[in-house]
Structure 1
Amino acid sequence: MTDYCAAHRGFSGIAPENTMAAVKLAMENTYVKWIEVDVQLSKDGVPFLIHDYTLNRTTSGRGPVKDALWDELSRLDAGSWKSPDYAGERLVTLDRFLEAVQGRLKVNLEIKTENDKYPGLEERMVAAVKKRGMEQDVVFTSFDTGALCKVKKIDPGMRTGLIIDGRPADLLERLKDLGSDFLSISYRYLTAEFASRAVQSGVEIMAWTIDDAKTMKRISEMHPEIMICTNRPDVWQDTFINGKVPRTRFGFLKWGRK
């Protein structure tokens, strides 16, 4: 098990997902070294953080994300749905997010698209990363293989990873064909045997999304290099650090950061 976890949409178990509140809370946890966020595009071409394709669930707005101008989006309440404590929390541009985490966290940027939903999204995301010299700190991930291919076409040196809710027999071959060395996979499809083959092939594995201690321990025992992506970094810390749970399967008994 790695000595750190990845914060899913920020510390989204407590703060509203994909907001600066969730990002800042994640950065306050010593054991969060990675953060995963979702990026879409406003009607006028501003990349910003949001998961759903509609505004309905996580903001005070309504309708498709792609139909709204950034000026409108920037005024929406993106926090009240989570808790009155976060009333008035705003949506965040990709630029502002990268400025906040630069030099502090590794970043999994999910390209939230399908069927070329957002023409130009990949170009804008790559430009934002390169503007800050964060090429070594960012991996571009997506369920959409076309989006990953676009990133590689824009800049072959950019790191990419496939997100998948399954484990087809040729998964490692697919990653190789995509030029990807990162796999974001639902934990339900992980096995110790597959994890071992993937790591030996040079693939970094992120298992999503795990919020309970029992499952965290079970998945971590499959391979010491599996990164756990969670909405609750505090549960991860209580399970593996504060609780000092021994990794007996692999003989790792000493806990703490490297």
Structure 2
Amino acid sequence: MNNLCVAHRGFSSIAPENTMAAFLLAMEQPEVQWMELDVQLSRDGVPVVIHDFTLNRTTNGKGLVRETDWSDLQQLDAGSWKGKAYKGERVPALIEVLDRCCGKVRLNIELKTQGNMYPGLPAAVIHEVRKRHMQHDVVITSFEPTALVEVKKLAPEFKTGLIIDARPGDLAAVLRQMNCSFLSIGYTNVDKSLMREMRNEGIQVMAWTVDDKTIMKRLAAIDPELMLCTNRPDVWEQAFQETSSRFFRP
């Protein structure tokens, strides 16, 4: 089992998702070579790391992320919902995560947007990544095709990837048209034929979000190049150890 382990929003089964606590904990795990995170814009244009369009679920704030200034976002508690040990965790700015990860772990940066919600988001993310010369250590992904097209228009050197939870018949053609070289797909859609088709197209594939050890092993058996995105890097490690021991038993 050589499949790359991608920590989904950091080590989010233990620490509060998309916080520095979750990212730092994930980076302590030797099996984690990639992390996935979500980026939106504050009202004053700061790229911030948070999944939901509203603040309600993962912070003690209310309202929309895009209607809140960065100075106000910094005051929010983004950790207490997960447990007392994480009280005071903040919503991080993208620059904080990039600075801590540079040279240590690669990043799948999801542009969290719909339609024209964040017209300046692709440019803002590109700017911060380029400033740190991390273009080849990240992939920019999104459910929103127009955001990915904008990334390639502004920064052709960036790798981009479509996020889907389906298996359309024209998938290869769609990715080719968008100039995507990465596919982030719900794990139930993954089989040998998909992996064969994507390999022929030069597309790297990541399956999300897999927390069950048996399913991890099944997916790993389909293709060793399939990346596995998980909230549970510890379960990935268990699957890896059990698979390795089967092949290397004395």
TM-score range, shorter chain: over 0.9
In 1, the alpha carbon distance for the partners of 2:241 and 2:116 equals: 43
3-state SS in 1 of match to 2:244: coil
| Offset, 1:241 | 2.4
| Offset, 1:254 | 5.4
Q: Runs (4+) of structure 1 moved beyond 4 Å?
A: none
| Offset, 1:139 | 0.6
| Offset, 1:119 | 2.0
In 1, the alpha carbon distance for the partners of 2:18 and 2:57 equals: 13
Q: C-alpha offsets along residues 182-209 of structure 1, whole Å, 9 cap, x if unaligned? A: 0000001111111122123211110000
8 Å Cα contact 2:3/2:228 also seen in 1: no
Alignment gaps of 5+ in structure 1: 247-252
* Corresponding residue for residue 8 of structure 1: 8
1:45-56 alignment, distance < 5 Å? 45-56=45-56
Q: Which amino acid aligns with 1:39?
A: V
- In the superposition, the TM-score normalised over structure 2's length comes to 0.97
Q: Which amino acid aligns with 2:201?
A: S
| Offset, 1:29 | 0.4
1:194-209 alignment, distance < 5 Å? 194-209=194-209
1:110-125 alignment, distance < 5 Å? 110-125=110-125
* Corresponding residue for residue 250 of structure 1: none
Q: Which amino acid aligns with 2:184?
A: S
Alignment gaps of 5+ in structure 2: none
| Offset, 1:61 | 0.3
Q: Which amino acid aligns with 1:9?
A: R
* Corresponding residue for residue 77 of structure 1: 77
| Offset, 1:224 | 1.2
Q: Say yes or no: does 1:29 pair with 2:29.
A: yes
1:83-122 alignment, distance < 5 Å? 83-122=83-122
- Identity over the aligned pairs, expressed in percent? 49
Distance change in 2, residues 1:245/1:63 (3 Å):
farther
* Corresponding residue for residue 187 of structure 1: 187
| Offset, 1:2 | 2.9
Q: Which amino acid aligns with 1:122?
A: P
| Offset, 1:116 | 1.1
- In the superposition, the TM-score normalised over structure 1's length comes to 0.94
In 1, the alpha carbon distance for the partners of 2:120 and 2:194 equals: 35
8 Å Cα contact 2:161/2:183 also seen in 1: yes
Q: Which amino acid aligns with 1:97?
A: V
In 1, the alpha carbon distance for the partners of 2:176 and 2:248 equals: 35
In 1, the alpha carbon distance for the partners of 2:44 and 2:214 equals: 45
* Corresponding residue for residue 249 of structure 1: none
Q: C-alpha offsets along residues 33-86 of structure 1, whole Å, 9 cap, x if unaligned? A: 000000000000000100000000000000111110001000100000011110
Q: C-alpha offsets along residues 150-198 of structure 1, whole Å, 9 cap, x if unaligned? A: 0011111111000001010011111111111100000011111111221
| Offset, 1:219 | 1.1
In 2, the alpha carbon distance for the partners of 1:178 and 1:254 equals: 43
* Corresponding residue for residue 156 of structure 1: 156
In 2, the alpha carbon distance for the partners of 1:57 and 1:224 equals: 36
8 Å Cα contact 1:2/1:227 also seen in 2: no
May I ask how many residue pairs the two structures share in their alignment? Answer: 249
